[in-house]
Amino acid sequence: MVKVINVRQSVFEENNKIAMKNREFFDSLNLFVINLMSAPGAGKTSIIERTIDALKEKFKIGVIEGDITSSIDAEKLEKKGIPTIQLNTGGECHLDANMISQAIENFNFNGLDLIIIENVGNLVCPAEFKVGEDIKVMILSAPEGHDKPKKYPLMFMESSALLINKIDLIPYIDTDINALIKNAKEINPNIQIFKTSAKTGEGIKEWTEWLTEKIVQKRGNI
């Protein structure tokens, strides 16, 4: 019998071990960690800015920025006085646990309450890699269309919350929001859905109240 090695499986197993260590580190600091995922240009950075504006009186917040090569978003956040570290993946289309463990080695997390990890813009691979987060949250930009849960099911399956962003564009596009919600719930009946606009601020209150509850829940448990 030839020994068969499922390379992909072993990649995930190794990744999960490191993710568990990252999670233990974050737990030890009483830190709530979100792994924020979306396609390119769905509004991750703008939603992070809105979220920080809404929660900065309650919590100390830091950001881990994942990008292929640039540091545009990290610089934008740093200008606003938000503790930020940039991870450049050098071509990889997602963050993995090992990359986050490098952030842990190079960034001071003491005194923070919430970390938002902005993953690389991609609806596929980021959903496959745990990084040590408490929850995964995804953003779908309304113009991307209502068929996306059927085409990219894993991310919808893995996410605790879905923000349907750029909701202000609804009058001008063909996306059927009710069909989108139905398609998302079919893949993941437990997914919490918020209709948001980082531009107008719509839905940010509902999203950040839900998030506050999650953060407080974790702190209660520790």
Q: Using the minimum distance from each CB to a second copy, give the nearer residue, 83 or 143.
A: 143
CB 24 within 8 A of CB 146: no
- Of 2 and 7, nearer to a second copy (C-beta) is 7
The residue ranges that bind a second copy (CB under 8 A) are 39-42, 67-70, 72, 91, 93, 120-125, 128, 141, 143-145, 147-148, 150-154, 166, 168-169, 172-174, 199
Of the two residues 112 and 131, which places its CB atom closer to a second copy in the complex? 131
AA letter at 185 = K
Q: How many helices (H) and strands (E) are present in the chain, helices listed first?
A: 8, 7
Residue 28: CB minimum distance to a second copy, A: 33
CB of 177 to a second copy, least distance (A): 14
Q: How far is the CB of 25 from a second copy (least distance, A)?
A: 28
Residue 143, classed as helix, strand or coil, is helix
Q: Is 145 left (phi over 0), alpha (psi -120 to 50) or beta?
A: left
Are the C-beta atoms of 145 and 63 separated by less than 8 Å?
no
CB of 69 to a second copy, least distance (A): 6
